[in-house]
Chains A and B, each alone.
Chain A
Amino acid sequence: MKIKILLVDDHLLVMHGIQQLLENEVDLEVVNTICYPALLETEIKKHNPDVIVMDIRMKNDNGIEWTRKIVKTYPTCKVVILSGYDYDEYIQAAYEAGAYAFVNKENSSFELANAIRQTYLGIKSFPTDRLHNYNSPLTTTELKILQFISEDKTNAEISNLLHISRRTVEHHISSILRKLDADSRVGAVVKAIKLGLIG
């Protein structure tokens, strides 16, 4: 028996892309795609999906709010939040609302399919633990930036030194923190010294 999936997103193109990716999986079946959460209840009654994959930001609706509603009214439907924002606050909010998984839109379809399968089994999966990132090595740029951070350089100084934009520096730092599982710059530097990544 295939896992019945209902997709809710107001970005049609993205939704159809996801639909195609999911239909490649043999054990998954997209029963319908809808643009407006207002149609959710009739669709749930009609198809009784196992998993609902929903975006957080929709034009007039809030995915978190809808998650709460679904969890309360249709406990058999499990919700997977699909979001463009990977801020911890969103993840936290999704968790608190009762979603089973939180998947970033840019993540691979494999991750989404995996999250759906786990959800179907009743296992919650959130990227807060970020286990999958732990062992991936730092890139050379990231190492350079980490070195600068340990020298107490500011982002602006780093961006000047490396001739990259300030925002790119921020991207690298967030990547470093994720890979080192640190909460702050200081934490990252401490961890890097412990691991012998920088001198």
Chain B
Amino acid sequence: MNKKVFPSAITLISVLIICYILLKMYNEHVSLHYYFPIFIGMAFLFIGIYSYSQKANSAVVQHFFALMFISGLAIALSTPASLNIKPAKELEVISISFASYALLRFFEYFPSSIKPTFFRKIRIITLFIAIFITLIYLLTGIDHLVIVNTIVRPCIVANLILALLSCAILFYLHLRSNSEKIKNQIYVLIGSLIISFVPVVALSLIPDAFFSFSGVPFHYSLVSIIIFPITLSYLLTRQEILDFREILKKTSIQLSIIVFCLLMFNILLFMFYDVELKLSILINTLLLCLFIVYDLTHQVIGQLQMKKWHLKHQEIQKEKLFILQQLLNGKHLEYCAKLIADLIHKTIHVTGVYITLKNDNIPIALHKTGIFLHLDDGELLSHVLRISHFEKININEKNCFLYPMNIEDTTIGWMIIGEKTNATMFDQEERKLIEKIQADATELFSSSQTLQQIENQLKKTTKESFMSEQSHWLLLHEQEEEKRRLSIFLHDEVLQHLILLLNKLEWFIQKRNIDKRLFDDIKGLIQRDIFEIREMCHELYPVMVEDLGLKQSLSSLKRKCEVNYNVIVEINYITNLKIIPPFLSIQAFRIIKELVHNAIKHSSSRKIVVTVEETHQFLSIQVKDYGVGFKVPSHLLELSQTNHLGLITIQKRVHQLKGTMTIHSELGTGTCISVSLPITAEEGGGNENQNIISR
């Protein structure tokens, strides 16, 4: 902050000094053309300070300001110095001796920041020379004209020439190492440097300092130097470091108003008074200075005023960041609320803070301090519900301010703030601060809620994907197992039996007579094989469903189960003569078969009831047992962890058929699984039908 105020302040002081010198010069009846360098110097100063105020944090701009300030001061004071007007001379000597240093310093950063070592050395040399000159001048030279003429002046000029030459070498280096685009800009820079400095150095300074004869007066040779800041401004704009077009745009209205005012003032002045030109120029200049002084003071004071507010604002930002970080670290909303309450207490001395947030539409107290500690949550919350605007409320005869946290039209929570401890009203600034905190808290809580939701969703999704991955793996495994079983069946049973049959047939041939016992033996073997292969086929694909329909297949299933397991299977088939597509029948049969086998395997129930009903649009299936039951997991995929693939497979099947499945199970009383499949025209079901192993 102070860093920002300082340049404005010293510019102000210099402007005041220049004004003082202007008035003094006027009193000593100096002719008009002596004023030119002063205007040029002031132009330097203003370009410097306004570019600085636009982008104070950039190093290039800072050095640009320093260069403009020092050189501007030197130029402005050069004429008064030659006229021996105090304190112009002293200031001029100091500023011009440091101008070379500022020049080198600036070109160290611009057009690009390459820093050859020799350049840095020269910069230090110029700095030493500048300090040397200043010391000599201040200690001894002020009153000794001889020393000034023999040491100080040549030193200053030499220093300046040294700086300019090293700049030229630097540009030469830039020219060699940079691209075409930059090269053009450097040419422009060199050109402007030559045009602005060569006349004054060659025509005025060198003859004056080294040859002790006065060359061209400054006020003539210095005019061209105004090109220098203009070129620099152009280049800074081109390099997008500073946008002078924007400065002009911003100040153009002010400038035009000023010009208009001056114009009006002059017209009025000439209408009523007989004023000579010199005086009017002086008055105008002073007025212009006045405007600028006003503008600069305004800026400085504005910045000083901003300071307090800005500090608090920064603190809030810092606090907000901290809270967000806590949130990201998984800290709870309560903790955030505590931090917000602390922040309010830190900002303003209030009697208490109460923060509540809606969770699933039920407000929950997150944090309370001060007067609210002794209050009942229920009572407090009854005050806040249904309030969606800022309101002053009275709780237990204490004044409180209620700030709802709104996102668009919905209220997500409330902040209740007690009155100030000294019982005064909130002033404008405090209210603004609280509103700022309110807005930030709203943003914070809403983002935290979103974050929480996202986190929950993420957890769920991660779990699901893990489970489905696991189940995929199990299914793959299952498929492999199925193939293995088929292969074992073919190898261990069918193949072995065929080999056995072949051997028996060979005996048949050897014996050469038909042995009834042997024949029966072979016949039995073959019949067994036929039976087994047939069963295997039926297990692989329930052909009967396709041939005879679901109802008949179910009664076959019933018989088979009853014969092979000690259970009673009851089938209730409520038909409404709906035409069920074969594909759906097959799927329904597979599902029922799996469920029945599950019940036989796991429930140890002696009775299983299967109900199938054809309704208007659905085929509803219910398989019920009266066995041991099981704990239904919240997510069916959890069953995959215990290798219970049956139900998962069924669920996947049901899901693909766009049906629904519900499981009711109680330990000790049994399980009832209901599946509802929509009856739609056959679609995509052709595949399985075409793969029928026709026999």
What is the interface of chain A, defined by CB distance below 8 A to chain B?
10-11, 56-59, 62, 64, 84-85, 87-90, 92-93, 106, 139, 152, 154-155, 165, 167-171, 173-174, 177, 183-185
Contacts and interface: CB of A to CB of B under 8 A. Distances in A.
Given A10-B694, A173-B563, A184-B562, A85 B544 contact: yes
Contacts of B695: 11, 57, 84
30 contacts: A10-B694, A57-B543, A57-B694, A57-B695, A58-B694, A85-B534, A85-B543, A85-B544, A87-B544, A87-B556, A89-B544, A89-B548, A89-B552, A90-B548, A92-B552, A93-B547, A93-B548, A93-B552, A106-B526, A106-B527, A154-B566, A155-B564, A165-B532, A168-B532, A170-B531, A171-B532, A173-B564, A183-B559, A185-B563, A185-B566
B535 A167 contact: yes
Given A57-B695, A92-B552, A167 B566 contact: no
Given A106-B527, A106-B530, A171-B532, A90 B547 contact: yes
Interface string B538-568: 0000011001100011011001001111100
A184 B563 contact: yes
B559 A88 contact: yes
Contacts of A152: 566
Contacts of A185: 562-563, 566
Contacts of A106: 526-527, 530
Nearest to B527: A106
For the complex of A and B, the 8 pairs showing the least CB-CB separation, nearest first, are: A89-B552, A171-B531, A167-B532, A59-B694, A89-B556, A93-B548, A155-B564, A84-B695
Contacts of A173: 563-564
B528 interface: yes
Contacts of B565: 154-155
Nearest to A165: B493
Find the residue from A89, A90, A93, A170 having the highest chain B CB count within 10 A. Answer: A89
B524 to A, nearest CB: 8
A35 to B, nearest CB: 12
Contacts of B562: 184-185
Contacts of B489: 167
A117 to B, nearest CB: 23
A170 B538 CA distance: 14
Interface in B485-516: 489, 492-493
Contacts of A92: 552
B563 A62 contact: no
Contacts of B544: 85, 87, 89-90
B536 interface: yes
Contacts of B531: 167, 170-171, 174
B527 A89 contact: no
Contact of A57 (B528, B536, B547): B547
Given A10-B694, A170-B535, A177 B563 contact: yes
Contacts of B493: 165, 167-168
Contacts of B530: 84, 106
Contacts of A90: 544, 547-548
A177 to B, nearest CB: 6
Interface string B583-609: 000000000000000000000000000
A183 B563 CA distance: 8
A154 B601 CA distance: 11
B196 to A, nearest CB: 101
A170 B563 CA distance: 8
Nearest to A167: B532
Contacts of A62: 547
Given A89-B555, A106-B527, A170-B535, 19 more contacts: A57-B547, A57-B695, A59-B694, A64-B548, A84-B530, A84-B534, A85-B544, A87-B544, A89-B544, A89-B553, A89-B556, A93-B547, A154-B566, A155-B564, A167-B532, A169-B564, A170-B531, A171-B532, A174-B563
B328 to A, nearest CB: 57
Contacts of A64: 547-548
Contacts of B694: 10, 57-59
Contact of A88 (B526, B536, B556): B556
A60 to B, nearest CB: 9
A154 B566 CA distance: 7
Interface in B327-349: none
A85 B559 CA distance: 15
Most buried by B among A58, A59, A64, A168: A168
A56 B535 contact: no
Given A56-B547, A57-B547, A170 B564 contact: yes
A139 to B, nearest CB: 8
Nearest to A105: B530
A150 to B, nearest CB: 11
A58 B694 CA distance: 7
Nearest to A58: B694
A176 B688 CA distance: 35
A89 B544 CA distance: 9
B692 to A, nearest CB: 8
Nearest to B694: A59
B533 to A, nearest CB: 9
Nearest to A85: B534
A64 B544 CA distance: 12
A117 B695 CA distance: 26
A129 B230 CA distance: 119
Contacts of B526: 106
A177 B492 CA distance: 26
Nearest to A158: B564
A177 B564 CA distance: 11
Most buried by A among B493, B526, B563: B563
A177 B526 CA distance: 19
Contacts of B552: 89, 92-93
A173 B532 CA distance: 12
Contacts of A59: 694
Nearest to A155: B564
A88 B527 CA distance: 17
Contacts of B527: 106
A174 B544 CA distance: 18
A89 to B, nearest CB: 4
B246 to A, nearest CB: 83
Interface string B653-695: 0000000000000000000000000000000000000000011
Interface in B459-509: 489, 492-493
A59 B693 CA distance: 9
B688 to A, nearest CB: 15
Contacts of A89: 544, 548, 552-553, 555-556
A152 B526 CA distance: 29
A154 B530 CA distance: 23
Contacts of A174: 531, 563
Nearest to B531: A171
A195 to B, nearest CB: 19
Contacts of B556: 87-89
Q: Which of B489, B556, B566 has the most CB of A within 10 A?
A: B566
Contacts of A88: 556, 559
